[in-house]
Amino acid sequence: MAVRTGPTNYQLQLLLMELEMKARSSPFWKRVASDLQKPTRQRRVVNVYKIEKFAQEGETILVPGKVLSVGDLHKKVAVAALTFSEDAARKIKEAKGSVLSIQELLKRNPEGKKVRILG
What pLDDT is recorded for position 105?
A: 94
The Cα–Cα gap between 47 and 73 comes to 10
Beta-strand relationship, 98-101 and 115-117: unpaired
Domain ranges in the chain are: 10-117
> Tens-of-pLDDT digits for all 119 residues of the chain?
677 777 788 888 899 999 998 888 889 999 999 999 988 888 899 999 999 999 999 999 999 999 999 999 999 999 999 999 999 999 999 999 999 999 999 999 988 899 999 98
* Residue of 42, 17, 39 lying closest to 106 (CA atoms): 17
The Cα–Cα gap between 57 and 41 comes to 31
What pLDDT is recorded for position 8?
A: 81
- The number of C-alpha atoms within 13 Å of 110 and in the hemisphere containing its C-beta is 7
Architecture of 10-117 per CATH? Ribosomal Protein L15; Chain: K; domain 2 (3.100)
Q: What angle do CA 15, 18, 22 make, to 5 degrees?
A: 130
